[in-house]
Chain A
Amino acid sequence: MKNDQGHPEKKPKFGPGITRRRFLKTMGSGAAIAAASDTLTGYGTVKAEVTRPEEILRVNLFINGLRHSLVVEPRWSLLYVLRAKLGLTGTKVGCERGECGACTVLIDKVPRYACLTLAVEAQGTEIVTLEGLMHGEKLGAVQQAFAEHDAFQCGYCTPGQIMSAEGLLRSNPAPNPDEIRRAMSGNLCRCGAYAHIYKAIGRAAELKDTKGGAS
């Protein structure tokens, strides 16, 4: 069984003891639902239910090997928290509705859209962002391959492309061209660098192979 990203199906985890359903139930005020429906119906028509400051929650997020403890509004996306609260701007904003993949991060080794993941929902998971692929100032294998093959133009979708490629190679170290195309189909590149991205992923697989799979 494979999902859209071409990876073996895994049940999404929501940390110790929290399922998605229970999370929504816990947030019984409906703030999360209200926030989502506002986005869908556009501006000017829906009266937003605003979370009061005293309703903010403390969350622990495990990102790139470090534990961060911070307070968030329940509706804050993981994307917003990564960028605005933790300064991890390698993860990019493209659409905030799960269409472009610019915000792709690894959650428990699987590529996920950080814009569709609430920060509170990401508790108890292991999150890896683009910054987490670096070895100090040295590029990781996928990053190195993208640089060598010019697998980007403006570079804005690139972090997401790299994270999807990283996720693919972690679950499938030697993907065939069709598997590469399917795995990358959730990441838009308006500059149209796909042809070079395919090549880069082949190269990344080689680089990882010589490094024993390390990123």
Chain B
Amino acid sequence: VTDQEKKLYYLEGLPLPETPRPGDTPAPWKGTRIVGKAVPRVDAYERVSGTAIYPSDVSLPNMLYGAILRCPHPHARVKKIETAKVKSMPGVHVVISGQTPAADLPWTYSSSGIRIKSKLFDPHCRFEGETVAAVAAETPYLAWDAVRAIDVDYEVLPAVSDERSALDQGAAAVHEKGNRVGPSHSYQRGDVAKGFAEADVVLEENYRTECEIHTPMELHGCVANWDGDRLTIWESTQGVYRIQTNVAETLNLPLSKVRIIGHYMGGGFGSKLQAGKYTIIAALLARITGRPVKMILSREETYLAVGNRPPSNMTLKAGIKKDGTLTALDFTCTGTGGAYPAGGTSLVDWQVRDLYKCPNVRTSCTDVYINAGPARPFRGPGHPQGSWALEQMLDALAEAIDMDPVDLRLKNISLYSQARDGQPPYTSTGLSDCLTQGAKAFGWKQARKEIAAAGKRGLIRRGVGMAGGLWAAGGGRPPSTIILKLFSDGSVNLNMGASDLGTGTKTVMALVVAEELGIKPENIQIEHADTGTTQFATPSGGSKTVPTESPAVRAAAISLKQQLLEIAARDLAVDPATLNFMAGSIVSRNDPSKKIDLTELSGLKKQGVVVGIGYRGPNPENKVTNPFAAQFCEVEVNTGTGEVRIIRFLGAHDSGRVMSRLTYDNQVFGGITMGIGLATTEARILDKNQTGKIVNRNWHDYKLPTALDVPEDMVSLPIEPDDTEANTTGAKGLGEPVTIPTAAAVANAVYHATGVRITQTPINPIQLCRLLAEHRKEG
């Protein structure tokens, strides 16, 4: 063993995975040496040292700063824009608006096939924060001075700010054709009337979740630079190729003239899957001034114009037999994606349709327009909302038939997707393991027993709650192309187009390479998220990046190994089929003396590099791959002040194989933290009776969970079903399922503690005090 090998390779532990013949699908890993282990991220150094350059950090020579004037009214028509005096302000280089010919560009808002044509600067502003004009100046301070100095004459129009009254007679019209986005979306299986007739207990309840804003820590924005007719944009994005398409289409450029770079990005949660108007505006300002332009939005702008999780108004009626068999679910929802088509009720009914076994289900969702910023996908779109209704209803049903809430859910597990055509089976269903193992690890029965024994006495009341869940996607799919380059010293370059949102994508892929090739993750250089230099990838959303990319990475590593075996066979003058790939060397199975170190391979020396290409294979036919979840929590409620303290949380997740334990646990805790926000603090508030403006457009008034709001006692319990069908790494999506059941679990725990059912988010002291007072009066 050479010193170099000692430095480069793991020589201990299990042998490397078998290398299949070219074209064969590799068998699932039986055991893994490094995949799934708790190793620090491959880019931890960059992220903690400050050397990671986020788009917000990019600074180019001669760079200007852009800023956008946004409509201050929820509904208005721009009559006149006066910019003459702005142009002469010191340090101001350009002002553009809809009146600028170069900026008179079309912009389409669309969702689920409904498209509305608008403009980059549309004089008809249908939401507060719509773009009106933009400037570029020497400093951001001067740019904002200029924005404030632009005089705009607005005709203020009547606005509608509440989706619950948007379809009322006399409601202001967001669009000429009215406030319905389209016909209501309906789904039905079985016969709900028959189901309710068969039920021993029927319950009905109204639920509401408030609108949430993503507010990733890094502001939305970019730096745009032209070299002649070639445009480069450093964008804080979840998918560089999607941005490239958006920009090329809007500016009518060939894709080859648009390069998008997004190596690091400071969080997106679905709000950075697409280019913003700001991206195009930055490119225009840069083209007109002939200088690079940095356009980073203010925090306030991110509350107005770059997406949200729509509010959901839900009614759920459910029927159940005394033995816990669900007989019928009838669900309706009204929501809004804001002023344009944006999936205001997208997937809100999915949990009801698909999670628990029920023969008779009917759902209907109505999406309406209001004068507010358009929604964007937000971590598990629709799912936490539907979970809020369904999981609280199951809790109430369990109580009504005197059954443990965990047992009730276990009674209604489905091994196939009921809501999809043909009802295809899941490749794996870890839901019952999530429930049983989660309950055991949490001490569910014991906790309920102790709380029951203590009785509902005293100011401080304890309660435990739980919820199950699934995520409708998370299986991944083609396309994905990965290129691996093995250098002559045995170290590797991994090339992929996908972004790493902070979920650990780069680390997971490095571990896959390390697993197959027996090299250390730190000897893998990663090049990613750059349309100029890396392979095409779909944006990182839908919890699909790991199940999409990791099988392609594995395929690339295997292709590399196969080529190395061929090269070694020539050097050793043996049949390649008799050779084994060991860590750092290749050995004959028949004659151990026939052995060659990778770094000695003549072909590798001569070429300098061997390239392995991997593609993502197809998913299994007529099957569905979904992640499953169960979460458990304990709360302490101060019945005097209405304060809820969350004492502990446990997340039991079936997301297939754990690929990297540290980043896995981090996702689980992060999803729970975000769910605690939905449950207890987060709500966009529109001044619906007067101005229609957002009144809490900053982190002071719109509160995120802080270090004081999440429990110290958080447990991540991975449930790893051996999913050999999903894909060749057995991984399923994780990023979204981790936040789906959280809010409902908190609500159920608060009910358990107090006997008060809270059907509207957020569970804050104001609401809880009022409900506790009503409860005492009734009691």
**Residues of A in contact with B (beta carbons under 8 Å apart):** 35, 38, 42-48, 50, 52-53, 73, 75-76, 80, 83-84, 87-90, 92-97, 99-100, 102, 129-131, 134, 139, 143-144, 146-150, 152-159, 162, 177, 180-182, 184-198
Known A-B contacts A134-B49, A143-B49; A155 and B670 likewise in contact (beta carbons under 8 Å): no
CA distance A129 to B50 in the complex (A): 10
Nearest residue (CB) in A for B39 is A150
By a CB distance below 8 angstroms, the chain B residues around A83 are 57
Known A-B contacts A43-B147, A89-B53; A150 and B662 likewise in contact (beta carbons under 8 Å): yes
CA distance A38 to B148 in the complex (A): 9
Q: How far is the CB of A183 from chain B (nearest CB, A)?
A: 8
By a CB distance below 8 angstroms, the chain B residues around A187 are 706-707
- Ranked nearest first, the 7 interchain pairs of A and B with the lowest CB-CB distance are A90-B50, A192-B673, A156-B266, A154-B502, A155-B47, A192-B670, A153-B502
Binary A-proximity of B581-604 (CB < 8 A = 1, otherwise 0): 000000000000000000000000
Q: Are A94 and B714 in contact (CB under 8 A)?
A: no
Binary A-proximity of B663-693 (CB < 8 A = 1, otherwise 0): 1011101111110000000000000000000
Q: Are A157 and B217 in contact (CB under 8 A)?
A: yes
Q: Does B267 contact A (CB under 8 A)?
A: yes
By a CB distance below 8 angstroms, the chain B residues around A184 are 706-707
Q: Are A190 and B48 in contact (CB under 8 A)?
A: no
Q: Are B698 and A97 in contact (CB under 8 A)?
A: yes
Nearest residue (CB) in A for B266 is A156
Using a CB-CB cutoff of 8 Å, which residues 135-189 of chain B contact chain A? 139-142, 144-145, 147-150, 152
Q: How far is the CB of A14 from chain B (nearest CB, A)?
A: 22
Binary A-proximity of B26-69 (CB < 8 A = 1, otherwise 0): 00000000000000110011111110111011010000000001
Nearest residue (CB) in A for B669 is A195
Q: Are B707 and A154 in contact (CB under 8 A)?
A: no
CA distance A106 to B298 in the complex (A): 24
Q: Are B48 and A143 in contact (CB under 8 A)?
A: yes
Q: Are B40 and A154 in contact (CB under 8 A)?
A: no
Q: Are A147 and B670 in contact (CB under 8 A)?
A: no
Contact partner of A75 among B141, B218, B663, B674, CB < 8 A?
B141
Q: Are B145 and A150 in contact (CB under 8 A)?
A: no
By a CB distance below 8 angstroms, the chain A residues around B77 are none
Known A-B contacts A50-B89, A99-B700; A190 and B44 likewise in contact (beta carbons under 8 Å): no
Q: Are B267 and A156 in contact (CB under 8 A)?
A: yes
By a CB distance below 8 angstroms, the chain B residues around A159 are 50
Q: Are A147 and B56 in contact (CB under 8 A)?
A: no
Q: Does B478 contact A (CB under 8 A)?
A: no
CA distance A154 to B269 in the complex (A): 11
By a CB distance below 8 angstroms, the chain A residues around B72 are 42-45
Q: Are A162 and B48 in contact (CB under 8 A)?
A: yes
By a CB distance below 8 angstroms, the chain B residues around A75 are 141
Q: Are B666 and A193 in contact (CB under 8 A)?
A: yes
In the complex, besides A131-B50, A190-B269, 8 extra interface pairs with C-beta distance below 8 angstroms are A44-B69, A92-B217, A146-B44, A152-B502, A156-B217, A177-B712, A180-B707, A181-B712
CA distance A157 to B501 in the complex (A): 13
Binary A-proximity of B561-597 (CB < 8 A = 1, otherwise 0): 0000000000000000000000000000000000000
By a CB distance below 8 angstroms, the chain B residues around A84 are 59, 139-140
Q: Are A153 and B147 in contact (CB under 8 A)?
A: no
By a CB distance below 8 angstroms, the chain A residues around B705 are 192, 194
Q: Are B671 and A192 in contact (CB under 8 A)?
A: yes
Binary A-proximity of B696-722 (CB < 8 A = 1, otherwise 0): 001110001111101010100000000
**Residues of B in contact with A (beta carbons under 8 Å apart):** 40-41, 44-50, 52-54, 56-57, 59, 69-70, 72, 89-90, 139-142, 144-145, 147-150, 152, 214-219, 264-267, 269, 296, 298-300, 501-504, 662-663, 665-667, 669-674, 698-700, 704-708, 710, 712, 714
A-B contact pairs, 26 of them (CB 8 A): A43-B70, A43-B144, A44-B150, A45-B72, A47-B149, A50-B145, A76-B141, A84-B139, A84-B140, A92-B217, A93-B296, A94-B299, A95-B699, A147-B40, A147-B47, A153-B503, A154-B217, A156-B502, A157-B217, A158-B48, A162-B48, A181-B712, A188-B699, A189-B707, A190-B214, A190-B215
Q: How far is the CB of B239 from chain A (nearest CB, A)?
A: 15
CA distance A195 to B649 in the complex (A): 11
Which residue, A46, A180, A182, A191, has most C-beta atoms of chain B within 10 A? A191
Known A-B contacts A42-B72, A43-B69, A43-B147; A156 and B54 likewise in contact (beta carbons under 8 Å): yes
Contact partner of B217 among A46, A89, A94, CB < 8 A?
A94
By a CB distance below 8 angstroms, the chain A residues around B264 are 154-155
Q: Are A80 and B140 in contact (CB under 8 A)?
A: yes
Which residue, A53, A88, A94, A150, has most C-beta atoms of chain B within 10 A? A150
Q: Are B712 and A150 in contact (CB under 8 A)?
A: no
Nearest residue (CB) in B for A157 is B217
By a CB distance below 8 angstroms, the chain A residues around B57 are 83, 89, 92
Q: How far is the CB of B768 from chain A (nearest CB, A)?
A: 22
Nearest residue (CB) in B for A181 is B707
Which residue, B89, B142, B217, has most C-beta atoms of chain A within 10 A? B217
Contact partner of A92 among B48, B266, B298, CB < 8 A?
B266
Q: How far is the CB of B70 from chain A (nearest CB, A)?
A: 7
Q: How far is the CB of A138 from chain B (nearest CB, A)?
A: 9
CA distance A187 to B709 in the complex (A): 12
Q: Are A130 and B50 in contact (CB under 8 A)?
A: yes
Q: How far is the CB of B151 from chain A (nearest CB, A)?
A: 9
CA distance A182 to B52 in the complex (A): 28
Q: Are B673 and A48 in contact (CB under 8 A)?
A: no
Q: Are A195 and B267 in contact (CB under 8 A)?
A: no
Q: Are A181 and B217 in contact (CB under 8 A)?
A: no
Which residue, A99, A147, A154, has most C-beta atoms of chain B within 10 A? A154
CA distance A87 to B63 in the complex (A): 14
CA distance A162 to B145 in the complex (A): 34
Q: Are A147 and B45 in contact (CB under 8 A)?
A: yes
Contact partner of A99 among B53, B674, B699, B707, CB < 8 A?
B699
Which residue, B139, B670, B700, B704, has most C-beta atoms of chain A within 10 A? B670
Q: Are B47 and A152 in contact (CB under 8 A)?
A: yes
Nearest residue (CB) in A for B150 is A44
Nearest residue (CB) in B for A144 is B48
Q: How far is the CB of B154 from chain A (nearest CB, A)?
A: 9
CA distance A95 to B697 in the complex (A): 11
By a CB distance below 8 angstroms, the chain A residues around B712 are 177, 181, 195, 198
CA distance A133 to B34 in the complex (A): 31
Nearest residue (CB) in A for B676 is A192
CA distance A43 to B144 in the complex (A): 8
Nearest residue (CB) in B for A195 is B669
Q: Are A191 and B502 in contact (CB under 8 A)?
A: yes
Q: Are A93 and B219 in contact (CB under 8 A)?
A: yes
By a CB distance below 8 angstroms, the chain B residues around A156 are 54, 216-218, 266-267, 502
Q: How far is the CB of A65 from chain B (nearest CB, A)?
A: 16
CA distance A39 to B727 in the complex (A): 51
Q: How far is the CB of B707 from chain A (nearest CB, A)?
A: 4
Q: Are A190 and B216 in contact (CB under 8 A)?
A: yes
Q: Are A153 and B670 in contact (CB under 8 A)?
A: yes
Q: How far is the CB of B302 from chain A (nearest CB, A)?
A: 9
CA distance A190 to B213 in the complex (A): 11
By a CB distance below 8 angstroms, the chain A residues around B665 are 150, 195-196
CA distance A45 to B72 in the complex (A): 10
Known A-B contacts A94-B219, A97-B700, A153-B666; A44 and B710 likewise in contact (beta carbons under 8 Å): no
Q: How far is the CB of B533 from chain A (nearest CB, A)?
A: 22
Q: Are B663 and A150 in contact (CB under 8 A)?
A: yes
By a CB distance below 8 angstroms, the chain A residues around B145 are 48, 50
CA distance A191 to B117 in the complex (A): 34
Contact partner of A152 among B48, B139, B149, B700, CB < 8 A?
B48
Q: How far is the CB of A125 from chain B (nearest CB, A)?
A: 20
Known A-B contacts A99-B699, A154-B502, A185-B707; A46 and B671 likewise in contact (beta carbons under 8 Å): no
